[in-house]
Amino acid sequence: MKALVLDAYGPGRLLRATDLPEPDLRDDEVLVEVHAAGLNPLDVKIRSGAFKLILPYRVPLVLGHDVAGVVVKTGPRVRRFKPGDEVYARADDFRIGSLAEFIPVKESSLALKPRGLSMEEAAAVPLAGLTAWQALVERAQLQRGQKVFIQAGSGGVGTLAIQLARHLGASVATTASVASAALVQRLGADLLIDYKTQQVDDVLRDQDVVLHSQDAKALDKSLRVLKRGGKLVSLSGPPDPAFGRDTGASWLVRLAVRFLSAGVRRRAKRLGVAYEFLFMKANGQQLGELTQLIEAGAIRPVVDRVFPFESTNEALAYVETGRAKGKVVVRVK
C-alpha cells in the first residue's frame, strides 16, 4: 500500500512517500480503506518529538489520527461492521497511521459515517469532535444555562465545541480574530473576544467551564475568569497526576507530570476551581453520539482546506501555522 512515513523526529521533518505491506489485522479490528484523513496539531507535535515521553512511537512511523473510509475486512471477533460499510474513527493510540491506503481500527473505536457528509467532511470530525465531547460532556458535565469559555473558537476543536456547547444549552464565549468573527458567531458563539486587542480577564467573569487550548499565560488568565466551583479542562497541558495514572506511565514520567502541573493545581485550589488535563481517547460509542447530532443538523464540521495526498507535507505546514479555520484534510483516495 502507498503510505507517508516519518523517518526521524524533528521540527518540520518531511514525510516520505513509500510502499508498505498491508497492515496486520487483529481479531477485534476492522481494516479500513482510507478515503480521507484529517490532520491535527497532535500530528505536528508527534512529528517534532514533543510527545516522545508519553507517546513513545518508534520510527519509521505513519502519522494520522483521523480517518474516513470503507471497511474492506473484519477480524473474527468483529460483529458491528461488515465490508462495504462507510465508517470513520479516531485511530487508536499506537495504531495510528491514516496517511496510508489502509489502516486497522478497533471495532470499539469505529462508527458509521454520518449520512450527508462527504468523506472529507467526515474525516474532519473524530479527534476534534471527541475532544469537545470528552471535555464538555464527560469531564465538565456542561449543563443548560451555564456559561462556557472556549479558547480559539475558529480552530478544529473550537468550531465543534462551540456547536456542541450551544446544543447543550450553554452560553458561549470564545476568542478569535476579527476575520473569524462571522464564522464563530454563525456557529453559535454569544460573545467574541478579539485576542489581538482585548484581555480575556477584562471581559469575562463567573464562567462555569473553560476549555483551554493555548499557552501558560492564557491558562493563568482563564483560571481567573471561572467562578468558584468552576472547572478548567486543558488540552494543552500541563498534564496532571490523573493523566499519568490513567496512561500507565512509568514512575519517572508520573513524577515529572506531578511536578509540571503542581503550580497550576495550587493556583486553581487557591481560587476554588478545578483543573483537569484531557488527552482525548478513541471512542466509537461517543463518536456515534456525535453522528446523531450531525445527522440531526445540530453540529456540522468546518473544513478549511482539502489537500491531495501528494501534498500532505504542505498540508502539515499549513496546520502548523495555526491559521486554519476549522480542519485541514488530506484526500487519500
Say what the pLDDT of residue 257 is: 84
Strands in 2-6's sheet, in edge-to-edge order, are: 16-19, 2-6, 61-62
Encode pLDDT of 19-49 as tens digits.
Answer: 999 999 999 999 999 999 999 999 999 999 9
Q: Are residues 267 and 136 in the same domain?
A: yes
pLDDT at 306 over 80: yes
Q: Give mean pLDDT, residues 200-213.
A: 96
Q: Give mean pLDDT, residues 321-327.
A: 95
- Which CATH number covers residue 148? 3.40.50.720
pLDDT at 220 over 80: yes
Say what the pLDDT of residue 51 is: 86
Q: How many CA atoms lie within 13 A of 12 on its CB side?
A: 1
Domain count for the chain, please give it: 2
Q: Are residues 137 and 268 in the same domain?
A: yes
What range does the domain containing 202 cover? Answer: 128-277
Q: Is residue 206 part of a domain?
A: yes
- Which CATH number covers residue 17? 3.90.180.10
The percent of residues above 70 in pLDDT, for the chain, comes to: 100
Q: Are residues 114 and 151 in the same domain?
A: no
Q: Are residues 150 and 121 in the same domain?
A: no
Q: Is residue 286 part of a domain?
A: no
Other CB atoms closer than 10 Å to residue 254's CB: what's the count? 17
Say what the pLDDT of residue 246 is: 80
Q: Are residues 91 and 170 in the same domain?
A: no
Q: Is residue 30 part of a domain?
A: yes
Q: Is residue 284 part of a domain?
A: no
Say what the pLDDT of residue 237 is: 86
Q: Are residues 10 and 144 in the same domain?
A: no
Q: Is residue 157 part of a domain?
A: yes
Q: Are residues 87 and 161 in the same domain?
A: no
Say what the pLDDT of residue 19 is: 98
pLDDT at 244 over 90: no
In angstroms, the CA 241 to CA 333 distance is: 41
Last residue in a domain, options 244, 262, 277: 277
Q: Are residues 117 and 134 in the same domain?
A: no
Residue labelled with grid coordinates 508520573: 254
pLDDT at 249 over 80: no
Q: Is residue 182 part of a domain?
A: yes
pLDDT at 247 over 80: no
The percent of residues above 90 in pLDDT, for the chain, comes to: 92
Q: How confident is the model at residue 250 (pLDDT cuts 50, 70, 90)?
A: confident
Q: Give mean pLDDT, residues 270-294.
A: 97
Q: What are phi and psi of 199, to 5 degrees?
A: -100, 130
**Are 278 and 135 a contacting pair, CB within 8 Å?**
yes
pLDDT at 148 over 80: yes
Q: Give mean pLDDT, residues 51-70.
A: 93
Peptide bond into 60 cis (omega under 30): yes
Q: Are residues 169 and 119 in the same domain?
A: no
Say what the pLDDT of residue 107 is: 98
pLDDT at 251 over 90: no
Averaged confidence pLDDT in the chain? 96
pLDDT at 272 over 90: yes
Q: How confident is the model at residue 253 (pLDDT cuts 50, 70, 90)?
A: confident
pLDDT at 106 over 90: yes
Say what the pLDDT of residue 83 is: 98
In angstroms, the CA 48 to CA 231 distance is: 31
